[in-house]
Every structure is written in C-alpha cells, then in structure tokens.
Amino acid sequence: MSSLAQRMNDMLLTSAEAGGAESMEAVEQIIQEAAHQQRPVIEDLLDSRQMSEEDFLLALSQRLNLPWESNLKPRHSRRLKEVCSAAIALRHRLLPLWFGDVETNMALSAAERAKEESGEETGIGEEAASTGEGPEGSEQVLALCTYDPFNFHARQAVAQAIPCRIQWHMASRTRLLQAIQKLYGVGADTFDAILKGRDLADTQAMDLKEETNVLDGDDDEASVVKFVNQIIRQALQQRATDIHVEPMETSLRIRYRIDGLLVDVPVPENIKALQNMVIARLKIMSRLDIAERRLPQDGRIALELDGNQIDVRVATIPSVLGETVSLRLLNQQKFNLDKLGMIPQVRQIIDSMLKLPNGIVLITGPTGSGKSTSLYTFLSELNTVDSRIVTVEDPVENKIEGVVQIAVKSEINLTFATALRSILRADPDIVMIGEMRDLETVEIAIRAALTGHLVFSTLHTNDAISGITRLVDMGVEPFLVAASVRCFLAQRLVRRLCPKCKQPAHVTAAELRSVGFRNAEDRTCYTAKPRGCDSCNHSGYHGRLAIYEVCVVTKEIEDLIVKRAPEAALKEMAVRQGFIPMREYGIFKVFDGDTTMEEVISATAADMMIGEPD
C-alpha cells in the first residue's frame, strides 16, 4: 500500500473513532472493501451508519485542516451558479459557498457565524459582498464545500471546468445535499418530483408554441425543459460542436464534442429515470414526430443565447436501448461578408475574387489586424456542398462546418509545408494556409494555384503592395508571383464609434488633403463623445471594424512584377487603375459614421511613412 493511501486510511480510522464508531474492525473492513472495489470510501462509511455522520466528517475536516461549515448559506447564488455549473455541482455533490477574495469572504463568514451563535438574524453577507468580487487585483477564489475530500474525480472535473483557485470546505453530507438541491433546483429530489407530477403526455404539451428557444435567463422552476436548456447552454459555453444524448443500460449518457474530442458530461445520477422525457423534449424542440420512435428522424432547432442565433441540426437514431439524439451546433460565430462592411469598390473586387477557379488571394497585415476573420469569412462564403475546402492552420481558431481543418504540429513535423503537400493529394478545390512563413510553403501554394486550386493565405506585411515585394524578397521567382497571385488584400482594425453617443462633426477639405485624401471637400462626419456613455463603457467606441486596401494583380501589375519594379512604381500603376489606399478607405468609413479620423490616421501611420502618392 502506498504511503498516501496509508495516511488516508489512518485519517479515516481516527475520524471514525471520533465519530463514535463501535467496531474499528468493521470500519477497517469497509475501507478495505471500498479500496478493493474502487468505490468511494466516504460514501460507504457514511452509508454503513457505524458512526455519527456529523462527528466523523467534522473530525476528518480537522485532520485535513479544511474549514468546517455548519451553516451552509451560499453568498450570491446567481453568481455562484455561473461560476460553478449545475452539472458540476450535482454530479460531484459540491456546493459553492462564495466567490471573490479570501479575506473579505472569510471575515464575512466569521461575522455570520458570530451572529448565528448569538441567535440574531443577519443580512450582512448579501449586502457587503454584493459584487461578489474583491478589491482590484486580488485573486478570485471559489469556496467549494464537499463531504468527500477524497473524491479525486470531483477535483479533476472542477480543475477542468472552473478556471480559478478553489478553497475547499467541508460539511455534513445530509446538509450539503439539501443545500445543493436548494441552490440548483435540479437535484435528485427535483427529478423525482417531476417524475411523480408529470407523465409523458404533459411533456408533449410543453411549449409547443415556442418559435425560438431562448436559453438565457434563469427559469426558477425545476423541469425537464430547464434541464435540457442547461445542457445545451453549457455545451455552447464550452464551445462544443455536437451534443450526443445516448441511452445506456443503466444511465443516460450525454457527451459533448469539444475541439474534436468527445467529453462525458456530468449529469445527475438518476437521469435515467427521465430519459424518455429528455428525449421527448429534444424532439419537441426540433419539431420531430414524438410518437415515432422506430425510425431515424432529422430536424432543426433555432436557439438564442445572449442575443446570438444558433442553428442546431438534430438527428435521432433508434437503438435497442432507446433513441439516441445528436445535436450539431452550427455557426457559433457567424461569418458573413456583409458583416465586414466593405465599401462598394472593395466589396466588388472581393466578390469577383471569390468566384475565381484558381489563384492565390493573400491577406496582409500585422498580428491582430483581423486577418483570420477575413479568411474565415471568405471560406464560409465558398463553403457549399459542391466545393471541398481544406485548411492548414496554427492553431485552428474557428470551426467551420463541412471544412476539413488541420492544425499544424511542428513537434511531429506536421508543418504548413508538409501538411499542404499531403492535402494537395487529397483533391481539395479550395485551400487555406494560415500563414506563408517560408519559401517552401509559398512555392507549394503557388504550385497548387497553378494546378487549379483557389488558395487563401496571409503574409506579415504592412500594406498590399509590399506583399508583392515580400514574396520576391523571400526568393520566389517574380514570374511565379505574377502568374499565381490574384490579389493582395491588406487590412487593419480601427475602433468602431459607439452608435449610441457618437457626435456630428465637421472636417474641411484642407484637413482631408493634409492626410492624403484625394478629391477632398468639406464634409460632415462623426466623432467620439468625450467620456462616452454607459453602453460603450465611457470610451465613445464600441467594438472594432476592419479597414482595407486591395491591390488586384492586373496585366500591367504582372508586367511590373516580372520586371522587379520597385514598390513606388507598382503603387503608381495600382492607383492609376483605381487602387484605394487604406487610409482613404478608412476616411470613407469616417464619412459613413463608423469610425473617426483619429482612429484611421493612427492605424495607417506606418503606411504613410513609405510614401503615399497624393
């Protein structure tokens, strides 16, 4: 026996003694058996009724030096339920007590205990800790109460699901279970209550009229509807792409697919009893024939979470143990070309680029300039059943349904170049390479483009024209650049004016000319309100938008590339053919009232230094 297990056993034995166990032999036997059968030893000891539950656990808490809670009053229920999900609390029988900084909360607990002992009613906890957060900069701690400090599954699950420091407390099992049920409302008792109170016919009558299922908000009534909503909400919060509800012999298994891997979802132990109601609820939500249980069915659910629309595709499969229901959560982040808000001149070019059968579309800009969003948007636009899209990314930032996405793993030599070389043998129509970092990758991409593939990728350069020279500088033959690259799209992010508090302003022709805007004339535009408003956190801005410039590789530009012409010459030709420099694009967005002159000028300052034609 390991020394850790030995120490654990010693603690259990002395605590059992303190709990008034009559026969230490009997206790020892329970401990041995539990270890042998890999059962939770504390549950078994408590179930054996050999000792006082309270005294035994109190003694154990003292041996382990964990704070003992005789009065379980979670402070700030709503916040706690956000931090510690019902699934975690119910499955692992944990009660969150408070969340915030240790000093304040421990002081409050002591004060509460003192009042409690003197018999006074107190509201001190709710008031003083009203934000649930400590002073700025202090570490956030979640106090979790358990009656089984040796439950390592629970600790593991907590470590995975709750990203903050945990302070463990202990309490008696009976009081803890009651408190958990009271806090979450979907405990074992609640499930029993649902079972007694309703039958399947009632389930069928449940909100059939719902058009969209709104998942936000706390529905205080414990019900199957609430339970199913919680399961879906948690899946979305964990970025799951699929939910599988699978009847098993003795339980109902629920699994999420997160980052491609299936993960068991902790569920209340007696969920099996509600299997039919859970499945019926899902079928009602997806407008399936609830009476049909022998044939597979397909349906959809329109969900809303925090104002976002989520499309869920549902498939049922009859199995010998009952119907399995699979939910595919689609478009967690909707990419839409319209959302990029491109000015018509640029949008037109992009529309035509997306229709090309082959060639390279390169997006340039520094890190954090929104290149990924543009890439994903373009791919989403092209993502139809008749096109096969493969990506190589580092890392995969967003999942796109129907697109084969590969993550670079340099430690096993799966680089952009090696992955790209092998996927080209797998017959893709469209290829996206996260970044062109080296000559090898660029050359394979060029070969792909020349053999009939449409290739999207990014380059770290400041503006569109310098993308051309960068490729040549990397060692790519100019004629290959000219032949394969269709356009260079450069971009940068600027802050978006708060629509609630933006203020009208005026800009003169002279001012516009001084910052390089051609065809300048006096204009009205908008500016940020100093100190903003509540909806923009008093910044005057709300969110960001991209500004672009796009250089199309025309016949004339091709000729210049082949001749290794300098940037200035390339730019002059581009401008002659209608190229709109990023700063000018930004100023158009200022005229639209989307951003401000200050934002555009600071975001494009670097480009101006390499010389802007006027």
CB of 591 to Zn ion, least distance (A): 20
Report phi then psi at 169, rounded to 5. Answer: -125, 165
CB of 342 to Zn ion, least distance (A): 25
Distance CA 155, CA 146 (A): 10
Would you say 271 or 501 has its CB closer to Zn ion? Answer: 501
Please report whether residue 359 would count as binding Zn ion according to CB under 5 A: no
Would you say 331 or 539 has its CB closer to Zn ion? Answer: 539
Distance CA 245, CA 256 (A): 9
| Residue of 80, 465, 501, 565 that binds Zn ion (CB under 5 A) | 501
Q: Kindly report the three-state secondary structure assignment for every residue of 177-206.
A: HHHHHHHHCCCHHHHHHHHHHCCHHHHHHC
Please report whether residue 315 would count as binding Zn ion according to CB under 5 A: no
Please report whether residue 188 would count as binding Zn ion according to CB under 5 A: no
Q: Among the candidate windows 162-170, 443-451, 536-544, 581-589, which touches Zn ion by CB under 5 A?
A: 536-544
Q: Among the candidate windows 24-32, 532-540, 571-579, 582-590, which touches Zn ion by CB under 5 A?
A: 532-540
Please report whether residue 531 would count as binding Zn ion according to CB under 5 A: no
Contacts of Zn ion in 9-28 (CB under 5 A):
none
In total, the chain counts a number of residues equal to: 614
Would you say 157 or 536 has its CB closer to Zn ion? Answer: 536
Please report whether residue 593 would count as binding Zn ion according to CB under 5 A: no
CB of 493 to Zn ion, least distance (A): 19
Residue 218, CA atoms < 13 Å, CB-side half-sphere: 13
Q: Among the candidate windows 259-267, 387-395, 468-476, 501-509, which touches Zn ion by CB under 5 A?
A: 501-509
CA distances from 3 to 9, 39, 291 (A): 10, 19, 58
Q: Among the candidate windows 161-169, 332-340, 529-537, 581-589, which touches Zn ion by CB under 5 A?
A: 529-537
Would you say 407 or 533 has its CB closer to Zn ion? Answer: 533
Closest by Cα among 100, 99, 17, 1 to 52: 17
Q: Are strands 404-407 and 297-305 parallel, antiparallel or unpaired?
A: unpaired
Q: Are strands 308-319 and 165-170 parallel, antiparallel or unpaired?
A: unpaired
Contacts of Zn ion in 421-440 (CB under 5 A):
none
Would you say 119 or 530 has its CB closer to Zn ion? Answer: 530
H helix intervals, 451-604: 464-474, 478-484, 509-514, 555-562, 567-576, 582-591, 597-603
Would you say 476 or 597 has its CB closer to Zn ion? Answer: 597
Would you say 486 or 542 has its CB closer to Zn ion? Answer: 542
Distance CA 550, CA 581 (A): 8
Please report whether residue 474 would count as binding Zn ion according to CB under 5 A: no
| Residue of 263, 533, 562, 569 that binds Zn ion (CB under 5 A) | 533
Angle at 482 between CA 476 and CA 485, to 5 degrees: 90
Please report whether residue 536 would count as binding Zn ion according to CB under 5 A: yes
Would you say 288 or 536 has its CB closer to Zn ion? Answer: 536
Please report whether residue 507 would count as binding Zn ion according to CB under 5 A: no
CB of 251 to Zn ion, least distance (A): 50
Distance CA 395, CA 539 (A): 32
Residue 323, CA atoms < 13 Å, CB-side half-sphere: 27
Please report whether residue 498 would count as binding Zn ion according to CB under 5 A: yes
| Residue of 39, 153, 500, 564 that binds Zn ion (CB under 5 A) | 500
- Say if residues 179 and 77 touch (Cβ distance below 8 Å): no
H helix intervals, 216-333: 224-237, 275-285
Please report whether residue 528 would count as binding Zn ion according to CB under 5 A: no
- Say if residues 119 and 110 touch (Cβ distance below 8 Å): no
Interacting residues with Zn ion (CB under 5 A): 498, 500-501, 532-533, 536
